[in-house]
Amino acid sequence: MKVTVIGAGYVGLVQSAGLAHLGHTVRVGESNPERLSLLRAAKLPIYEPGLEELFARALAHDLISLHADNHEAVRGADVIFLALPTPPDGDGRADLSILEAAVRDLAPSLESSAILAVKSTVPVGTNALLRRILDETGCSASVVSNPEFLSEGSAVEDFLKAERIVIGADLAADADVLRRLYGGLAATIVVTDPVSAELTKYAANAYLATRLTFFNAVSNLAEEVGADVTDVLRAVGLDRRIGPHFMRPGPGYGGSCFPKDTSALLSIAGDVGYSFPLLESVISTNDLQRDRIVERISSEFDGDLTGVKIAVWGLAFKAGTDDIRDSPAVAIGQALARRGATVEAWDPEALFADFIAAEGPLEAVDDADLLLVATEWPEFLRIDLAEVAKRMAGDMVFDARNLLDPDAVRTAGLLYRCLGRPKA
Ligand code: UGA
């Protein structure tokens, strides 16, 4: 099958390399010249475990070709995936201008039997909107919704071992084409109408955001009543109806998806007059989680951070990625800096120019009054805590991810603070 992917961003790259791995020939259309030359040299502009190898292999076997001209990329294609950005506009809605412009531009070059598959996360009704654009231009290609469920840091595995593939199509024949395309995967294929597929994507992300926000609130409550959240969550998660996933206490969700998608779903609800106070509360409660951590750290210095040096381990919004978009680690570090602290940070992959960049994790803690663990990188577990204690000026470790072993921290002669475990 001849496949095209428009947009070599995070989603487009995983989709192209994944489909090539399944044996398809994939043409990739990308308008950014720097990105294109990087990709031609089999280098990726993002850090994603396993992706560079998968991409390089596909390139070496001529299963992927790169095109600066989207028209050239779509010529003769059976299925064209649109993996273009849909950033939030000022009101939290997804901005569709890039997607709309691409469809208008590509319409004359599409085969009449081609299928446009929308990978980007788009508001409910977008497939219908793109259908109208194609009709206006006299193009009879189909439009289907095929949302992605990739998590940063495990995207390759999420593609190759997908649990489900959702295909929102008006025509059964179009759904069958995509079903064949993904035939090499063991995933359950769910075929729906386009609107249901579009809503599925938002429902999944908003539910996960709601769930982890709920358990962060339980963790805060554990702190107040003197319970141990680790024990509480283990016991709660053993209920089959609840399960153990997505309940790790932390500084709240960040990244490029949950913040954007929760706001977008709220706008979608608002547009049809549906009031969704639960989701409003999730969004505001998530912000409060960052504030709570800043307050707790600040109170360790009697509310005055002037001249205090804070070492931050972790900048990425979660482990396994170099992405700092809406990262709680960055937001908390910035809030501490606004209150007068000097912040020196180290992350195995991510960078943030506003903080002092440490050479390594031990250099970061040199003369620090407090060490904040802000991202749950497993690398942090292998750092010599006795050396950390020797280098620090102060003696406090604030573990905002409940990552470290409290006993190991104490054995090194340091004080340990974490979330929801006042006695740990
Ligand atoms: C998320 C979804 O998990 C993917 O299924 C979806 O495809 C993707 O968004 C998307 O829409 O593109 P991602 O943002 O990469 O993926 O990362 P997650 O692993 O879901 O983490 C999101 C946030 O929740 C992070 O800030 C993470 O630290 C936080 N989190 C996660 C917790 O605070 N506690 C947990 O137990 C789990």
Residue 25 inside a domain? The answer is yes
| Number of structural domains the chain divides into | 3
Is the separation of the CB atoms in 166 and 205 below 8 Å? Answer: no
Domain that holds residue 212: 202-284
- CATH number at 379 reads 3.40.50.720
pLDDT at 113: 95
255 lines ligand 1 (CB under 6 A): yes
Residues 231 and 133 in one domain: no
Residue 181 inside a domain? The answer is yes
Residues 136 and 159 in one domain: yes
Residues 33 and 74 in one domain: yes
Digits of tens for pLDDT over the chain (424 positions)?
899 999 999 999 999 999 999 999 999 999 999 999 999 999 999 989 999 999 999 999 999 999 999 999 999 999 999 999 998 888 878 899 999 999 999 999 999 999 999 999 899 999 999 999 999 999 999 999 999 999 999 999 999 999 999 999 999 999 999 999 999 999 999 999 999 999 999 999 999 999 999 999 999 999 999 999 999 999 999 999 999 999 999 999 999 999 999 999 999 999 999 999 999 999 999 999 999 999 999 999 999 999 999 999 999 999 999 999 999 999 999 999 999 999 999 999 999 999 999 999 999 999 999 999 999 999 999 999 999 999 999 999 999 999 999 999 999 999 999 999 999 8
250 lines ligand 1 (CB under 6 A): yes
Counting from 1 in the atom list of ligand 1, the atom nearest the Cα of 247 is 36
pLDDT at 364: 98
Residues 317 and 210 in one domain: no
139 included as an active-site residue: no
**Residue 403 amino acid letter:** L
150 lines ligand 1 (CB under 6 A): yes
Residues 178 and 37 in one domain: yes
pLDDT at 28: 98
Among 408, 7, 188, CA closest to 424: 408
Is the separation of the CB atoms in 313 and 374 below 8 Å? Answer: yes
Residue 197 inside a domain? The answer is no
Q: Tokens standing for 307?
A: 């001249």
Final residue belonging to a domain, choices 235, 257, 284? 284
From 258, 261, 263, 376, the mutation candidate for ligand 1 (largest count of ligand atoms within 8 A of CB) is: 258
In angstroms, the CA 30 to CA 175 distance is: 26
The catalytically annotated residue of 26, 257, 329, 336 is: 257
Counting from 1 in the atom list of ligand 1, the atom nearest the Cα of 328 is 26
From 48, 120, 151, the mutation candidate for ligand 1 (largest count of ligand atoms within 8 A of CB) is: 151
Residues 108 and 207 in one domain: no
pLDDT at 207: 98
Q: At what angle do helices 51-60 and 10-21 cross, to 10 degrees?
A: 50
Q: Count of CB atoms within 10 A of residue 168's CB?
A: 27
Q: Rounded to whole angstroms, what are the CA distances from 10 to 83, 95, 126? A: 9, 18, 21
Residues 246 and 326 in one domain: no
